[in-house]
Structure 1
Amino acid sequence: MTPDAPTWRNWGGTQSATPTRVVHPTDVPQIIDLVRDTAERGGVLKPVGAGHSFSAIAVADDVQVDLSAMRGLVRVDGAAVTVRAGTYLHEMPAILAPYRLAMPNLGDVDRQSVAGATATGTHGTGLRFGGVSTQISAVTLVSGTGDIVTVGPDDPDLAAAALGLGALGVLVEITLACVPEFGLRAVEAPATFDDAVGGFVDRVAETDHHEFFWFPHTACALTRSNTRIGADTRRSGPGRVRRYVDDELLSNKLFGMLCAVGARVPAVVPAVAQLSGRALGARTYTDRSDEVFVSSRGVRFREMEYAVALHEVPDVLREVRAMIDRRRYLVSFPVEVRAAAADDLMLSTATGRPTGYIAVHRYHGDDPADADAYFADVERIMSAHDGRPHWGKMHGLDAAGLRRRYPRFDEFLEVRNRFDPARVFANRYLRRVLGD
């Protein structure tokens, strides 16, 4: 655990920190000692994963704990798979393959650690499927008192620990409820804004996994519908070369160049949006689940995502479109729209209601003041619809505003008081969103 404290920055460039100390533990006793030492001197300790949160949730101004050395499989018991908390999501398919298992659902990015993804409420899409945190059946963590705590499937504290914001302890092992491996039949198709928005609620009810992207300044949208199929179904559709052209050359390299041009010459952004919206055409293919769920994201951006009641999604999107036109924002990145099942996790954005997710982005090279104003205007719309912000993405709410949105907010604080009474894990972000 050699101290080493360079400046840390997250992937999106929205957060940075210079910790007083960076440690790379390789086992649980090292973490116990570190937590107890930090508590004794009244310091603050923050675990960090892959840095894919846009919010300041992982920012460590004191001790930063890098869990990248604590990865890999611990055990398999039927479909219950326990991994070390620093394991990356992109490592999970190889871990699960020998057992012919898969994670039930994934988001479109797999660079995060399992601990980071679940602690922030990462999710995919699919009205019959919850976020990644709902797949957790047990966790083992080191609490703020330096004790090892295992929270099992019958423990009511699991509703807090499965999506704990890093506020309860340092996760060291996570047990996931996996499913038999499966494939997906993916259908991507262009649509109009009106069709994509107006049909969204019905399509997420009818399709295993449905989402769409709308390109501001255009009537263009791209829909994606994935249907679950047998694991042994032969891969079909565009070959690797065609998918490389679509996913890397068009979706990343060309799109990145267009965004860079738009950042330098904002007046061309509507034309860029038109080109981007029309460049991606229809295609159908089948592959194993993780290969379809996950997309390559090579263009850096800043992101805000809010969760609203599913039935409100169409109205909210129309308000966002009207606001962009009225305020004359020039937005080169598409708006992403997804859905998830209701769950009962205390701080899940989908707790208590079927949920629609609306994510807005700005290219990392855009004028920061203009991007901040855009996010603030989007947030005002979302707040008017009782929106809940994604914990790992940009938002400006504090504990008072969040308490009104989360019926189990105070239950979570009670668990936090037991797990971390001295606030060893309370960085500035957690003090803002949970209170002191």
Structure 2
Amino acid sequence: MNRRDFLIASLAAAGSLGLSACDDRGAAEMPKAPTPTTGPDGKRLLPWQNWSGYLHALPTRRLVPQSEDELASLLKSAPAPIRPVGAGHSFTALVPTAGSLLSLRNFSGLLAHDAETLTASFGAGTRLGDVGPALDAIGQALANMPDIDSQTLSGAIATATHGTGRGLGALHSYVTGLRLVTPRGEVLDCSAERNPQVFAAARVSLGSLGVITQLTLRNVPTHRLRRRVWFEPLEQLLERFDELTRQHHSFEMYYLPFCSTAVAIAIDPTDAPISPRGEEQDNDAVMQLKRARDWLSWWPGLRRRVLDLATQDLTPEDAVDLWYRIFPSSREVRFNEMEYHLDAQALIPAFRRVRECIETRHHAEFFPIELRVVRGDDAWLSPFQGHEVSGSIAIHRYHLEDPLPYFADIEPIFQSYDGRPHWGKMHTLDAARLASLYPRWADFLALRAELDPEGRMLNPYLRTLFGLA
């Protein structure tokens, strides 16, 4: 599929009509980064920002412990709030703090593995992109993997980060053991057998119980995967969505705003010879969708016609490679994101309402809308718990454009289906609403108070989220 060129003819046609580009889409309303300054001790304080540039902080201290002993000491003594930081790929304010920002970059790499049980232990600061080669070298593979591999293991697990697959769980559902250092300096080994209550809470904890230093994952034998990408009429793909999720190991689809065709991605195990994916083209395709928006958002009908013509008769992508080269994709075009998880039966009805809202009220949107499915699990704060299969809808806004008005219109749709938000992505639910959606919410808060009675891990965002502000 030549996505690099699939809109060139369309944009050339728009340009020949002399159409005017759009405005800045609310960029003036975006948060501004703090400027570097000097702390009370005379040391220069440097700003932090997340991947999208939407969240900022000016921490008093930056902590990079070398060992668990040093970490335990810092958790007891460093200026609070103490917030662990990974890749900064969350869009909720889990990290920002005026206290201490704590990096786990010295807690990384493969620590141990068991060929018989197909388990492996990693430092919690290991990037997902480094987990793949390390596991493959010992004959193991993650059962499933997110489509972005820059996150740290601990950050991905703390926020319930997931991939897609009807029979596949989120990353935290494959954790069989973890090691937690609490704000009081205790070191707890946790599993279904040891400290089971802490284990049930810590698998998805928002970094509020302490700092996880290592994780043990249950894996599968290393293997190759085949990834197919094709365009199909949107209505036809929606009708086939359930069938395709049952048919394929992993399946997801993307709706392109103001386009009658959609993108389908299916991934399945294979013994076929390796045929790599080649140069990543998704980022160019997204920017071409933006250019089409810039020229044609004022005339949705023409925009649809142009996109429909541009996506006709495109050659499907077909690639075979080792699992860790197939699951993730490059995400170089920055954005802010909201994602909600619903019972799978509600996924398509909810999406239809989202599409109607976009196409009647938000002509400036161009980022594809992602639909996925995930197997349910029993972690206390897992957004998938209680569902046999969860359906996920993710909406995105270009990083230079204000996401709040758009997200505010879409979020009530998700909430009307009792949707639960991805913990790392933007939402407005308060503690009372979350308590109604999570049966173990009160248990989690009680355990958090027991492990961190002084609230040293709680920044203002978490205090508000937990109803403690």
Whether TM exceeds 0.5 here: the answer is yes
- Within the candidate set 141, 158, 176, 1:137 is matched to 176
Q: 1:435 — aligned with what?
A: 467
Q: Secondary structure at the match of 2:129?
A: helix
Q: How does 1:230-379 map to 2 (within 5 A)?
A: 230=271, 233-236=272-275, 243-244=278-279, 247-248=280-281, 251-256=282-287, 258-259=289-290, 262=293, 266-267=297-298, 270=303, 281-353=315-387, 354-366=389-401, 368=402, 371-379=403-411
Q: Which amino acid aligns with 1:157?
A: V
Secondary structure in 2 matching 1:156? helix
The answer to whether the Cα contact below 8 Å between 2:286 and 2:367 also exists between their aligned partners in 1 is: no
The 3 A distance-change label for structure 1 pair 330 and 36 is same
Residue in 1 that maps onto 2:6: none
Deviations 1:240-283 (A, max 9, x none): 6xx21xx23xx213533552674698548846865775596412
Give the whole-Å Cα distance in 2 for the aligned partners of 1:280 and 1:429.
Answer: 45
Say whether 1:21 aligns with 2:61: yes
Go from structure 1 to structure 2 and tell me whether the alpha carbon gap of 1:95 and 1:385 turns closer, same or farther (over 3 Å shift).
same
Q: Post-superposition shift, 1:397?
A: 0.9
How many Å apart are 1:168 and its aligned residue?
0.6
Cα shift at 1:110 = 0.1
Change (3 A) 1:389 1:4: farther
| Structure 2 CA distance for aligned equivalents of residues 66 and 180 of structure 1 | 31
1:229 shift after superposition:
2.9
Q: 74-83 or 15-24: which moved more?
A: 74-83
CA offsets, 1:95-146, max 9 Å, x none? Answer: 1122110111001000000000000110000011110011111111111211
For 1:14, give the aligned amino acid: Y
What's the secondary structure of 2:197's corresponding residue? coil
Distance 1:280 1:89 in 2: 32
Is residue 2:239 matched to residue 1:198? Answer: yes
Partner residue of 2:123?
Answer: 84
User: CA 1:16–1:377 in 2, change beyond 3 Å: closer, same or farther?
Assistant: same
CA separation in 2, counterparts of 1:20 and 1:363? Answer: 30
Partner residue, 1:159:
200
- The higher radius of gyration belongs to 2
1:85-164 equivalence runs, <5 A: 85-154=124-193, 155-164=196-205
Q: Alpha carbons of 1:5 and 1:28: their partners in 2 closer, same or farther (altered >3 Å)?
A: farther
Task: Give the alignment partner of residue 221 of structure 1, picking from 252, 262, 287.
Answer: 262
Alignment correspondent of 2:9: none
What do residues 26-82 of structure 1 show as CA deviations (whole Å, max 9, x unaligned)? 2111111111114xx7x2100000000011112222110011232112111332211
Q: Distance in 1 between matches of 2:295 and 2:200?
A: 46
Q: Take 2:47 and 2:299, find their aligned partners in 1: how far apart are those partners?
A: 35
Give the counterpart letter for 2:83 in structure 1.
K
1:324-380 per-residue CA deviation (whole Å, 9 max, x = no partner) reads 1221432110000000011111111110101000000111123x1xx3111011101
Within-5 A mapping of 1:57-76: 57-76=94-113
**2:107 and 2:214 in contact (8 A); partners too:** no
Instruction: For 1:322 and 1:261, locate their aligned partners in 2 and report how far apart those are by CA, in whole Å.
Output: 20
Distance in structure 2 (CA, Å) of the matches to 1:361 and 1:276: 22
Separation in 2, partners of 1:400, 1:196: 37
Matched AA of 1:392: G
Measure the CA separation in 2 of the matches of 1:275 and 1:18: 48
Q: What is the letter of the counterpart of residue 136 of structure 1?
A: V
| Whole-angstrom distance in 2 between the partners of 1:64 and 1:346 | 26
The 10-residue stretch of structure 1 (180-189 or 290-299) with the greater mean CA deviation from structure 2: 180-189
| CA shift for structure 1 position 186 | 1.7
- Using a 3 Å threshold, how does the CA distance of structure 1 residues 194 and 138 change in structure 2: closer, same or farther? same
Larger relative helix fraction: 1
Taking a change above 3 Å as real, the CA distance of residues 276 and 162 of structure 1, as seen in their structure-2 partners, is farther
TM-aligned CA deviation for residue 198 of structure 1: 2.1
Report percent identity of matched pairs: 33
Match of 1:157, SS?
Answer: helix
- C-alpha contact (below 8 Å) 1:201/1:311 kept by paired residues: no
- 1:278 & 1:92 partners in 2: Cα distance? 38
Find the counterpart in structure 2 of residue 408 from structure 1: 440
The 5 Å alignment of 1:48-63 reads 48-63=85-100
Give the total of aligned pairs.
Answer: 418
Helix, strand or coil at the partner of 1:199: helix
* Contact preservation (8 Å) 2:209, 2:452: yes
Question: If the length of structure 1 is used for normalisation, what is the TM-score?
Answer: 0.91
Contact 2:289 2:367 in 1 (8 A): no
Give me the whole-angstrom Cα distance separating, in 2, the residues matched to 1:172 and 1:75: 14
Contact 1:188-1:281 within 8 A present in 2 as well? no
Unaligned residue ranges in structure 1 (runs of 5+): none
One-letter identity of the residue aligned with 1:290: Y
Give the partner amino acid of 1:50.
A
Q: More displaced, 410-419 or 88-97?
A: 410-419
The CA distance in 1 between the partners of 2:371 and 2:104, in whole Å, is 32
Contact 1:201–1:310 (8 Å) recurs in 2: no
- 1:327–1:339 CA distance, 2 compared to 1 (3 A): same
Offset of 1:308 from its aligned partner? 0.5
| 2: CA distance, partners of 1:69 / 1:275 | 51
Counterparts in 2 of 1:380 and 1:329: CA distance versus 1, 3 Å: farther
Question: What's the secondary structure of 2:235's corresponding residue?
Answer: helix
